[in-house]
Amino acid sequence: MKHPSNRELFDYWNERRGERLAPERAEIEPSAIRQVLGDTFVLQVNGIDNHLFRLAGTRLCALFGRELKSKSFMKLWQRSGQTAVRELIAVVMEEKIRSVANVTGATSDDMLAPVNLEMLLLPLAYHSRGKARVLGALAPMAATYWLGAKAIGPLTLGMFRHIGAAADTAPLFKAAAGRLKHGLTVYDGGRAE
């Protein structure tokens, strides 16, 4: 993660989850992340086509020139990339994997350079599909003079990576007689000299 807002949100989310795969939605306190709340969003995910903003920060709404609460997250993306975004969100939710992605947005008149953004997606624990939520942030990598004055149009998903799979929090097996050395597991064996 490169953007300070995303790092701060991730650190808070990580603290709230503790040893679990993901924290509950009720454990996320907006006042605790007030510095980054403007870039933050919460998505309600019901079914394959229903990804609605439950919360959208003011800076995020200013990027798109409109209020995003209760609007479709998928409609912010180019039609050709919506399937990839939908699948990325599904992996984050189902596998409890955190993801960070490069995103590009442009104005409708193409007179201004595209905006590079960084998107963070974090799972929230849920007990029923109707309560499924994803916590995220979308922040511009550089402040350009026209951000907030002109709305950006459809987004394009760039490279993304997962930040620590769920399996990395609880090892599935214990290393047999291995010892840790400089972050690597060393197994004794082979030649006996």
What CA–CA distances, in Å, run from 160 to 15, 53, 71, 83, 101?
23, 21, 24, 14, 4
pLDDT at res. 153? 81
* Residue 137 included in any domain: yes
User: Would 176 be classed as within a structural domain?
Assistant: no
**Residue 166's pLDDT is what?**
44
Residue 8 lies in a domain: yes
CATH of the domain at 8: 3.30.450.20
Does residue 136 fall inside a structural domain?
yes
H/E run at residue 94 = helix 82-95
- Beta strand 184-187 with 178-181: parallel, antiparallel or unpaired? antiparallel
For residue 170, what pLDDT is reported?
Answer: 41
Q: Which domain holds residue 29?
A: 4-166
Q: Full-prediction pTM beyond 0.95?
A: no
Domain assignment of residue 91, yes or no: yes
The region, left, alpha or beta by phi > 0 then psi within -120 to 50, assigned to residue 50 is beta
Which pLDDT does position 66 carry in this prediction? Answer: 93
Is residue 184 included in any domain, yes or no? no
170 sits in the region (left: phi over 0; alpha: psi -120 to 50; else beta) called beta
Per-residue confidence (pLDDT) for residue 142, from 0 to 100:
83
Residue 174 included in any domain: no
pLDDT block averages, 10 residues each, the chain of length 193: 93 95 94 95 84 95 93 94 94 93 83 85 86 92 74 91 61 45 61 58
The reported pLDDT for the residue numbered 60 is 93
Count Cβ atoms within 10 A of the Cβ of residue 187 and give its class: 0-12 exposed, 13-18 middle, 19 or more buried: exposed
Give the residue from 51, 31, 35, 32 showing the smallest Cα distance to 43. Answer: 51
Instruction: State how many domains the chain has.
Output: 1
User: Does any domain span residue 172?
Assistant: no
